[in-house]
Structure 1
Amino acid sequence: MQDIAAEDEHDSQAGFRTASEYSMKPNLQDSWREFTEDILQPLFDFLSERVGAESSILHTLQRYRTRIEWFDREELHARYTADTRNGEEIYNLDLQRFLFLEGDHITHAKPRSASGEADLIGDLDGREPLICDGKIFDGDGRGKSYLIKGLHQIIKYAHDYGERTAYLVVYNVTDKLLDFPTDGTPGAWPPFTELASVRVYFIHVRVLPPTTTASKAGKATRVVIARDDLTNPDST
């Protein structure tokens, strides 16, 4: 289909000829019908299923972000500060539970793959494994470069399982604003990037409980992660 589309840019009749010549049937309408049933319909079914699955997962992750930021920040942050060494595991186990209860995604904590241990991989027994990794951002030892390395790790996990979509959940334990680049519509949620044939969605969750009202907090520091940072992780 990509070859047909590329050829059609230079020759507007290329697609028509391909469909017409696909079948040996003498009737042109029969040839088009056979082409549609054999080529186009399976493609449309695949796209519909893929888009539906991504939308379902994104909806569940959006609900998770809202639940944390609106209701559970204090409780989880208290558990995090009591054991910062295992902070990521605390948040990831909470996410794992939510994915199962709200989205019916059965995940496995730290399953082995060729690239190591991802924090969460879901639906391993199904046709579409859920590639999801959670990373802490604390602006210090786990700062900008840590997130970028996490991005490249999750891309490797996606390759290990033959997937083209992954989700990087960022638990922001600071009062800084994280600005992620996007290959999609500017301002649309969530931002995503496409690297090495994998689309990675950035799910930014503000997990630090507010210490004052927004009107008294002042101007927040922005941490900008540029597209060049993602393609050159060693430069950060």
Structure 2
Amino acid sequence: MHTDIVQRLRYKLQKRARKVNSAGYQTFHFALLRWWEFLHSNEIFVGILEQLAYLVSSAEDDVKRIINGESLQGGTEEEEASLAFWIIKYCYEAKENPDIEIVIAHRYSHSSNHNEALEMFKDIFVEPLYEYIDEQLDDQRAVLGLLRRFKHSCEWFQRNDVLDIYQKEVERGTQEGKKGRGEKQLALHLYEYLYNQGLSFSIEPTSVSGEADLIASQNTDDPLIADVKLFDPSSSKNKSYIIKGFQQVYQYTLDFNEPFGYLVIFKTCEDGLAISAANQEQSTSFVTVNGKTIFIVIIDLYPHEKSASKRGKLKTHTISEDEFVTQITEDKEAQEEAGLLDNEN
């Protein structure tokens, strides 16, 4: 992101974290609640936290063990930060128990003094979460927050302009000898936005003008794994098409050994599109398969004539988590079977 944006976010983050770290045992719980609410008031912070929540698969269960009396700590910085996220989330949800942090703190500290014990809680949980968020502001972990802002920018302020990009390509496709590249142009629009926000990546010049994949063309071992798909069930861009797009992003996370991928869907029809996933608490839909988490951002480009409250009930196409996962499993089994047949031959 731009340096000035990062600096402002860091200043606010540091200021709020300092208030938590300076709070005594009588006010600490409420200071922690206010800090958690502050973190969830900014889309960039929310994006980082949503990814952190599923970065370490065992963290949520480890927190349950801590609540039950164990004194666990993360073995790596990521494990430490993920554990901190889930502990502070637990403390926030236990609003009616202002002593919950003190109880946890005394499990890690031999001191009988509440304030001295809380220093241990701050060192093990508050500081690691603060430091992780601070570090990720310059990293691709900020991508999800930027994608959420991009979605709002398209739907609130640029709907007609972005839709015009797509419609021009549709018209181009009707011309003899020419092919519409609506998806490609929308992908370029997305990548341009992320680049203008200061996100660092590099794309081969040939991929901008040609049909090459924008992910594979980044010429780096750490690419931005964000792909764009159109959704319009009146054409071939239906549920099956979206599921195939999900598979492509998932495959890229495997190819480049990345924990996260992003599927951005531009909905150009009046029908609704929904993602149904289990245990979905985050504001952005996601599906986790074999340790890889794919975030799904749906952008509504359809020029609705009526406001949402006056449209009535529209047809909604729902894609379940099972549909995404089952297709990947079936493809993997088919590949393994094909490999066995090749070996036999």
TM-score, normalised with respect to structure 2: 0.50
1: CA distance, partners of 2:323 / 2:57:
30
8 Å CA contact 1:60, 1:103 repeated in 2: no
In structure 2, which of residues 122, 135, 148 is the aligned counterpart of residue 62 of structure 1? 148
Summarize deviations over 1:185-233 as a string: whole Å, max 9, x none.
34x3101000132100001111122223334422111111012211233
Summarize deviations over 1:82-106 as a string: whole Å, max 9, x none.
2132110111111011001114232
Summarize deviations over 1:141-197 as a string: whole Å, max 9, x none.
0110000011111111111111111010001111122111234434x3101000132
Question: Residue 158 of structure 2 corresponds to which residue in structure 1?
Answer: 72
Do the aligned partners of residues 166 and 184 (structure 1) sit closer, same or farther apart at CA in structure 2, a change above 3 Å counting? farther
8 Å CA contact 2:277, 2:320 repeated in 1: no
In structure 2, which of residues 148, 173, 191 is the aligned counterpart of residue 96 of structure 1? 191
* 2:194 corresponds to 1:158: no
Question: Residue 202 of structure 1 corresponds to which residue in structure 2?
Answer: 296
- 5+ residue gaps, structure 1, are 20-35
2: CA distance, partners of 1:13 / 1:216:
52
Note the C-alpha offset of 1:110.
10
Question: Counterparts in 2 of 1:6-25, with a 5 A limit?
Answer: none
Do the aligned partners of residues 165 and 121 (structure 1) sit closer, same or farther apart at CA in structure 2, a change above 3 Å counting? farther
Do the aligned partners of residues 110 and 14 (structure 1) sit closer, same or farther apart at CA in structure 2, a change above 3 Å counting? farther
* 2:167 corresponds to 1:81: yes
2: CA distance, partners of 1:62 / 1:224:
21
Do the aligned partners of residues 87 and 228 (structure 1) sit closer, same or farther apart at CA in structure 2, a change above 3 Å counting? same
Aligned-pair identity in percent equals 22
1: CA distance, partners of 2:300 / 2:57:
41
- 5+ residue gaps, structure 2, are 1-55, 83-128, 171-179, 331-345
Question: Residue 243 of structure 2 corresponds to which residue in structure 1?
Answer: 148
- RMSD value, Cα: 3.8
Question: Residue 211 of structure 1 corresponds to which residue in structure 2?
Answer: 305
2: CA distance, partners of 1:148 / 1:179:
13
SS in structure 1 of the partner of residue 276 of structure 2: coil
Which one-letter code corresponds to 1:97 in the other structure? E
8 Å CA contact 1:154, 1:166 repeated in 2: yes
Q: Which has the higher strand share?
A: 1
* 2:262 corresponds to 1:167: yes
Note the C-alpha offset of 1:118.
4.1
Q: Which has the higher helix share?
A: 2
